[in-house]
Amino acid sequence: MPAIRGQTAERGMWTDPRAEDGSQIIESLPKVELHRHLEGSLRMATLLELARGNGLPVPRDERALRAQVQVLPHDPLTWQNFLSKFEALRHFFQSPEVISRLVRESIEDLAADRVLYTELRFTPAALAASRGFSVDEVMDWVLEAGREAMHAAGVRVAWIASINRHEPIQMAERVARAAAERRGRGLVGLDLAGNEVDFPTDPFASIFRDAAKSGLGISVHAGEWSDGGSVYHAMESLGALRIAHGVRAIEEPRALEMARERRIAFEVCLTSNVASGAVRSYAEHPLPRLIQAGVQVTLNSDDPSICGIRLSDEYRAAMQHFGLSHDSLRGLILAAVQAAFLPAKDKRRLEGQLQAELFAKAS
């Protein structure tokens, strides 16, 4: 179990102030992130303002609100507790204006952490539910707000529409269809997320195969709370090009072999994996073993506001707990470019930009 320390206003519960020595360079590194949920990237100050001013069914006291939307020191580190945080967070998407603000602030926070390119995922059904909006409406609001914010902040943002396993299959079909219709407007992928334990992936297989045929990149949450076989199934049956988390794949040789053969990248989220009980501690995280097994790995923050972290903190944790060097971190950043749902020409351009800056800083 990691030592959990007191949290600052926006971050810090999982970060160790003693780890700052010699690693300040991480903040200045240009970064790429492929796995971050919009709904888990909201500022506490904004949530408090909205809670106090809009009569939402959430606490107006900061301490009580934190207990509902963040993993705190006394919380059980379980997937049930982790997913429960989203129940409160989904009350906040009350209007197009609020959704646009939350998108803008999330992108500003990415820019502040020197993330130059991100694929930010969001759950249209969750954003639509609080006020009965249509999936098409909320997708358009998110894409438009994202387009404006990324130009202002200097961050390139692409979007992945996420489907939760517990949602009706008709909703999944609706989201997949709307996502395919918005290719070319910044929407690049489709994701399957949520409760792996109680909801299998089989009912969604044809939806994701059709989405892949439409040109969408496929990322599937697998091997986070279920066994390594779920990772193999996500690649074989759903056509996953990337695996969200995938920590349990280390237990399934077939999954590792297929990931190597197909160059399928794993979107690893160290702190989230501990906070959600996917692994018991940083020390037991299989990140080094996945790298040694030849799997393409990227580092990501998953839900930074729920865990009180930034992407820089995930890179620092990799250094602190696994001894990864700055050169290794640079390699992981470039691996994320290769795994991005970008056209080859755009990948080459982004990779060239990052290499010039990353290795200029190294010299």
What DSSP element (H or E) covers 37? strand 31-37
Q: Which of 39, 196, 224, 252 is catalytic?
A: 224
Say whether 224 is catalytic: yes
In whole angstroms, how far apart are CA 100 and each of 45, 106, 141? 16, 10, 7
Q: Which residues contact 16 (CB under 8 A, 6 or more apart)?
A: 3, 5, 320
DSSP-assigned states of every residue in 117-155 = EEEEEE-HHHHHHTTT--HHHHHHHHHHHHHHHHHHHT-
Q: Answer yes or no: are the C-beta atoms of 11 and 303 closer than 8 Å.
A: no
Phi, psi of 313 (to 5 degrees): -65, -30
Helices (H), 130-262: 135-153, 169-181, 205-213, 229-236, 253-262
Contacts of 331 (CB under 8 A, 6+ apart): none
What distance in Å separates the CA atoms of residue 91 and residue 14, rounded to the nearest whole number? 26
Cβ count within 10 A of residue 154:
11
Question: Which residues are marked as active site?
Answer: 224
